[in-house]
Amino acid sequence: MTDLNASILGGTYGRAADASARVQFRRGMTLTAMTLLMPGSAQLVMGNKAVGRLAIRVWLGFLAAGALLVVLAMTSRTGLFSLLTDGRVLTLVRWVLVAGAVAWVALLIDAWRLARPRQMARGHRLWMTGLNGVLCFVTAGTLLFGAHLVSVQNGFIGSVFASKTTSDPVDGRYNILLLGADSGKDRSGLRPDSLTVASVDRETGRTVLIGLPRNLENVPFPKGSPMREEFPDGFDCEGCYLNAVNTWANDHADLFGDVDEPGIEATMEAAGEITGLNINYYAMVNMKGFSRLIDAVGGVEIDVKERTAIGGIGSPIRGYIEVGEQKLTGDEALWYSRSRVENDDWSRMGRQKCVMNAMLQQLSPQKVLMNVQAIADSGKTLLETDIPAKDLDVMMDLALKARHQKISSVSLVPPVVYTGNPDFDKVRSLVADEIAEAEGTAKPTSGITVASLKVPDLSADEDADDPRKDNQSDDLAATC
């Protein structure tokens, strides 16, 4: 009888112990979930209430800041970008994220302590400890990764967009000189062989790309420019093409006084005088940096229209980019943009705009986020610009707008514009016509659109000066 009673009592105690262990486990899981969803709530219920109240207030502050960002994104995208590019804000956000990671881990560990893991069954204790460890890793890792992204962005902005001088749009447009520069043993100085003016509507993002031939002769300079004093009739010395302006001005920097970049200043002046546009800013990328940037985002997809040589400039041809839909690596895209071994500068200009357009359309926020370190590393060492950090919000907003707009193109090529004896009044007229068409204020009388670029039939003399057919040579069939 005694043994029977003991057996009954032992079973009752065993079931009670199991039930208690399950309750402890559920409580531990609940406290952990509370800390995950609202840090500090577990402490407010079972622990240090002062700590719990402080943590909840901080968490509510985070939620309020997030709500503010959402409201800004919906009502003022430029305002949002202004916050995201402000160095002081970014520094504060970085340290807040680091502190938040440490505090959240501490609260999760404290929630595990409040669950009294020693009173749990061994299996429940292992589950509880493992779950808590994973959550500590995930939450801290997420916040610290966010702090890293903020730090990378802040460093990139501070080193690349260090200029303090802002420039307002003229006639509602920002005009930015895009330079692809290359240096080597076979040339003197850094020579920008790819020159394109991007004229962007401030309100719509509608963009017109104006390709400037590197070998344009007799380029003019505006009144008041030191270059105008030296070359009143245009840049007409031996070997003095547009791409040599940078080197000549740098070699004669004393003519420019305290200007930090006389070569770039002179090139911007020349580009403005050629096109009749006020050049607000410039952005120059070394061609090798261009290759690294494309590799950083996983390549670029191009519809290749002509077989293009890889190599051949001071070295043997080592391959070809074949016709058809291709995903180009950085090296391939570099050669597709610069090769002129088996074609010419006109074809190259078309291919350069093709690659620029493809990059603009294919650079998604997801790609940028996942490759932010590689992009920043390539950009900091290889991108040079006078766009100030203060104007980055406007430029970022314009870039997003431009992605959804048609991009028009003007190429200053024969037979309408001859680089050896260019008619600059005609050039300015072509540019003005294309911009007017892009803005919808005039019918097209010149220019082309990237999407509908075709090769004209120039066999008849009467077609040779038709302004609707002027911006192409036969080689420009190799465009996108």
The answer to whether residue 166 sits within a structural domain is no
Residue 311 zone, left/alpha/beta (φ > 0; ψ -120 to 50; rest): left
Tell me how far apart the alpha carbons of residues 370 and 376 are, in angstroms, rounded to a whole number: 12
Task: Say which amino acid occupies 24.
Answer: Q
Boundary residue ending a domain (125, 160, 195): 160
Tell me how far apart the alpha carbons of residues 153 and 428 are, in angstroms, rounded to a whole number: 39
The answer to whether residue 269 sits within a structural domain is yes
Tell me how far apart the alpha carbons of residues 236 and 344 are, in angstroms, rounded to a whole number: 23
The answer to whether residue 1 sits within a structural domain is no
State the total domains in the chain: 2
The answer to whether residue 7 sits within a structural domain is no
Domain of 259, CATH number, reads 3.40.630.190
Task: Kindly state whether residues 90 and 147 are assigned to the same domain.
Answer: yes
248 is written with which tokens?
């000549």
Q: What is the pLDDT along the chain (480 residues), one digit of tens a residue?
A: 555 454 444 455 456 656 666 777 888 889 999 999 999 999 998 888 999 999 999 999 999 999 998 998 888 888 888 888 898 999 999 999 999 999 999 999 999 998 888 777 888 888 888 999 999 999 999 999 999 889 888 888 888 888 888 899 988 999 999 887 765 444 445 567 778 899 999 999 999 999 898 889 999 999 999 999 999 999 988 888 998 999 999 999 999 988 888 999 999 999 999 999 999 999 887 766 777 778 877 888 888 888 888 877 666 777 888 888 888 888 888 888 777 777 766 677 678 778 877 776 776 655 555 555 566 565 555 678 899 988 988 888 888 888 788 888 887 878 888 888 899 999 999 999 999 998 877 654 443 333 333 333 222 333 333 333 333 333 344 455
- Residue 358 CB contacts under 8 Å (≥ 6 apart), including other chains: 300, 301, 302, 480
43 is written with which tokens?
């402490």
Task: Kindly state whether residues 299 and 405 are assigned to the same domain.
Answer: yes
Answer for the pair 173, 200: CB distance below 8 angstroms, yes or no. yes
The answer to whether residue 412 sits within a structural domain is yes
Task: Kindly state whether residues 379 and 322 are assigned to the same domain.
Answer: yes
Task: Kindly state whether residues 424 and 291 are assigned to the same domain.
Answer: yes
pLDDT at 257: 87
Answer for the pair 194, 352: CB distance below 8 angstroms, yes or no. yes
Boundary residue ending a domain (160, 186, 218): 160
Residue 95 zone, left/alpha/beta (φ > 0; ψ -120 to 50; rest): alpha
Task: Kindly state whether residues 80 and 198 are assigned to the same domain.
Answer: no
Tell me how far apart the alpha carbons of residues 141 and 407 are, in angstroms, rounded to a whole number: 41
Residue 83, judged by CB atoms within 10 A of its CB (0-12, 13-18, 19+), counts as middle
**Which domain range does residue 107 map to?**
19-160
Task: Kindly state whether residues 280 and 187 are assigned to the same domain.
Answer: yes
